[in-house]
Chains A and B, each alone.
Chain A
Amino acid sequence: MRRYNKPARIAAIALAASIVVAACGSSSSKTTSTPSSTSPSTAKNGGTVTLLMGTAPDSLDPGMGYTTQAAEPDWLAYTGLTTYAHANGSAGGQVIPGLATALPAITDGGKTYSVTLRKGLLFSNGKPVKASDFTYTVERAIKIPWGGSGQFITAQIAGATAYSTGKAKTISGITTNDATGQITIHLNSAYGAFDNVLAFPSLGLVPTGTPFTNEPNNPPPGVGPYMITNVVPNASFSLVRNPKWTSMNIPGIPAGHVDINAKISSNIDANTLSVLNNSADIFDWADTIPGSLLPQLKSQASDRFSQVDLGGSTYYIFMNQKAKPFSSQLAREAVVTGLSQPAMNRLGSGTLAYGCYFLPPAIIGHPSGTACPYGDPASGGDIAKAKQLVTQSGMAGTPVTVWSETRQPRQAWMTYYTSFLNQIGFKATQKVIADATFFTTIGNLKLNPQTGFADWNQDFPNPVDFYLLLSGAAILPTNNQNFGQVDDPFINAQVNKLGAVPTSQLSSVAGQWQALDEYTAKKAYVAVFGYQTFPKFTSTRINYGAAIFHPVYGWDWSSFQLK
């Protein structure tokens, strides 16, 4: 999903360093700590922490939200039939039962998923949860529409397409029994990552009757350890502990320790200083620490600050295949050949890892050890060759609009990219859009954006999650995530074939995913400019070692504890 952070290796480091032992006789949460942290023996409950976010969530309504800033709170307020383990590193990528009693039983060659809803579940407003609420939730996500609905719902669930086009009154592929709690989902074809799809907050159950409209300022009730309250648009919201959660006793999903006030503040410098000076508690890991403040953090806050190697995110520039100049492969190759990743890295305060492949290093299929087809990314780009390619393409002088967010360093990256495009022979101008509306703006096909900033963090540890961005089936008229409108028959066929392989068997098709990623790089469908590392940074009030950096959702807010 957009702008997420997954530390692939921190769990191993933390476990090797020290292990926190639960106090005897009291309920406790298992914690891991980094080498520099002090660890309590029991979890401390109570209190409120302040989290600063540089960008507002696109929507707190789970039926709409599809950025990291939205998923961070939604994950804890809207539990799906499955969910993820609350752990650091790769352990956090493990799918566990959520509102279902067990992981789905998969039959019919991978096309039928069956679960039973736990008994005694209540929404945060006290209303009992029924099996049919799942069908309603899925229908709502289609109608709003949720940005992932094209790839994960209508493309996968039988009858979902007919429902979305108005040809059916309900989704025929989902059958439920409120009396027994049984939910059966029939897919169009086997889809190996469907367990992960069920874990999306957007498929976290909401009550039947919730309006089929985006409700960002008054999100619907859900089932989870937290509830979202006090929403002030683009300013703040609160995540308060759900008093009904503990009684439902769902294993693997702990109750939270503190309430969280999330404040939206686009001044990243001020946010950094606030956390450094303990006037706020958590720095959102989706933001970038300004380079000018890094020395200060390293000297004053080394016990509560670290840059975490994601391994699960890719930063790239999309190039619209359906519009000039990037309908020409030579024009795209010019960008990939000439763009300087060291320059982009400087603008990002040195937090990027170089690379050219769409799959990031932690995802199976990433072509490790294979040379990049258009030169070493660390070399700084070949401007002369890029100019030559532009001339050869016949696209020299084409006006190009570069789309960019306002926040740094993304705007700085796109300013540099605009300057680079002008240098190699295009007539580029930059258009800057407010962060909260950037992806929905460029996701509107009517606008037909030519090129601009994009990023992706793994929704789940499966390469198909990345290739949804390059699959023809994912092109939607609104909330489109395939910004470049890539529609390559080979990619489409491979995604359909390899996407049916369950996550547990991915290693058997690793070579094929690698071949696909190398093909994509050669076609220059996107211009990858690095894999981001992210800041894990808190105030002195927070138990740093106990705070979980989740591979799918970033900060696990339910793991925050005061010392």
Chain B
Amino acid sequence: MATTSATGTEFSGETAALLAEGEGLPPGIGPWALAWRRLRRNKTALAFGGLFILIVVVCLLAPVYSHAIAHIGPADETYLSKPFNVKTQEFAVSPTGIPIGPTWHSRFFLGADANGRDVAVRLLYGGRNSLEIGFVATMITMVLALILGVWSGYFRGISDGVINRFLDIIWAYPAVLLGVTLGTVLAVGGIGPLHGTALLVPAIVIGIVYIPYVAKPVRGQVLTLREREFVDAARQQGLSHARIMFSEILPNLASTIIVFFPLILANAILLEAALTYLGAGVQPPNASWGTMISDGISTIPAAFHNVLVPGIMLVLCVLSINVFGDGLRDALDPRAKVRIAH
């Protein structure tokens, strides 16, 4: 029996029989739909993903909390010099420099830091800064790493050698050490028009530090992809190198990009906290979880909430990104061995 396909091609014999069988079956699931189905089944990953979104939303609402609920700004030290509780004449910091603990009132809900600032307000504003730096740094890493990785993997030869050596130099330094060095130098002089206290400075520093961690695996994948027949076919059709890289290779890296993004984001947020703790990241009086931990160290014996609160937020944020990222990786490519080595 002969069968005509939708394009008008005629099949006969076994092929025609198979086609006839398949006409009654539902359509196949594409790779993205399959990934989404896997992810949906991973309740843990979804829960932590939801937690991360909640943290982001709450941090974005920092100005609302500050103005409408706490009525105090993140750098406001007014209650060093006047009592915040007129009835009890209580100051945010005692005469011997010990800040108050959680009050469970709208102002100083989570207590005060050693400078008399509201911890809850700084926690949210600090979260905004930490997340902003994390996202910007991740974007810088991904964009530059993709450019370098695709270029070196596609063209190979001299440019591959040069780019690889450049990546090896960055990778040879421990991330924290390199970050502290760059951060310290740039904190005083700034970068070009950016002054040293701009949040973009630590974001750029962190973004540069993590480039090799993405560029190298991307390069490895591109080395494989460039040998595939569809790339060959594109070459045969006379497409330019740029067109091939953009339209043939890059889409095949999509799952890698998606998997790397949360991993780099988590590490960027952690590195920002470490750099700021070491004095090379966010500059005072800007808040970040790292500055809060750094500032709170000196008051641990008498006011450990100053370290505990930002520490818990940092752990929850990084944990939620990592767990969600793991779920995403399992959903997109269960056999992937993508890791960030330190």
List residues of A whose CB falls within 8 A of some B CB. Answer: 267-269, 290-296, 340, 342-343, 345-350, 380-381, 404, 406, 408-409, 411-412, 415-416, 418-420, 422-423, 429-434
Contacts and interface: CB of A to CB of B under 8 A. Distances in A.
A348 B97 contact: yes
Given A290-B299, A416-B80, A420-B77, A346 B116 contact: yes
B63 interface: no
Nearest to A433: B188
B114 interface: yes
A408 B298 contact: yes
Query: Majority SS of interface residues in chain B?
Result: loop
Contact of B300 (A269, A345, A409): A269
Given A292-B303, A411-B284, A346 B94 contact: yes
B118 to A, nearest CB: 13
B289 interface: no
Contacts of B115: 347, 412, 415-416, 419
A427 to B, nearest CB: 12
Contacts, number: 104
B188 to A, nearest CB: 7
Interface centre among B80, B91, B299 (most CB of A within 10 A): B80
B285 A419 contact: yes
A345 B94 CA distance: 10
Contacts of A419: 75-77, 115, 285
B95 interface: yes
A432 B285 CA distance: 10
Contact of B82 (A350, A380, A409): A380
Given A347-B80, A347-B114, A380-B81, A292 B95 contact: no
B301 interface: yes
Given A292-B299, A419-B75, A419-B285, A349 B188 contact: no
A430 B284 contact: yes
Contact of A430 (B94, B279, B285, B299): B285
B73 to A, nearest CB: 9
Contacts of B98: 291-292
A433 B197 CA distance: 12
B56 interface: no
Range for the number of chain B residues in contact with chain A: 20 to 34
A267 B61 CA distance: 35
B197 A430 contact: yes
Contacts of A295: 96, 302
Contacts of B116: 343, 346, 416
A114 to B, nearest CB: 48
23 contacts: A269-B300, A269-B301, A290-B298, A291-B96, A291-B98, A292-B301, A340-B80, A346-B93, A347-B80, A347-B97, A347-B114, A347-B115, A350-B97, A404-B284, A408-B298, A409-B97, A411-B284, A412-B114, A416-B80, A429-B197, A430-B283, A430-B285, A432-B283
Contact of B279 (A296, A346, A380, A432): A432
Which 9 pairs between the two chains have the least Cβ-Cβ distance? A291-B97, A292-B302, A340-B81, A343-B80, A349-B97, A343-B81, A291-B96, A292-B301, A419-B77
A514 to B, nearest CB: 30
A350 B285 contact: no
A346 B95 contact: yes
B76 A290 contact: no
A404 B187 CA distance: 13
B179 interface: no
B77 A269 contact: no
A347 B93 CA distance: 8
B292 to A, nearest CB: 13
Contacts of B302: 291-293, 295
Nearest to A294: B96
B231 interface: no
B234 interface: no
Contacts of A431: 188, 196-197, 283
Interface in B154-200: 187-188, 195-197
Nearest to A381: B81
B313 interface: no
Most-contacted residue by chain B among A292, A345, A416 (CB, 10 A) = A292
A346 B82 contact: no
A119 B327 CA distance: 83
Contacts of B188: 431, 433
Of the candidates A267, A408, A412, the one having the most CB atoms from chain B within 10 angstroms of its own CB is A412
A411 B97 CA distance: 14
B300 to A, nearest CB: 7
B245 interface: no
A459 to B, nearest CB: 29
B285 A292 contact: no
Interface in B90-108: 91, 93-98
B296 to A, nearest CB: 10
A434 B180 CA distance: 13
Contacts of B285: 415, 418-419, 430
Contacts of B114: 347, 408, 412
A338 to B, nearest CB: 10
A342 B303 contact: no
Nearest to A266: B279
A462 B81 CA distance: 34
Given A291-B97, A430-B197, 4 more contacts: A350-B96, A408-B114, A416-B77, A433-B188
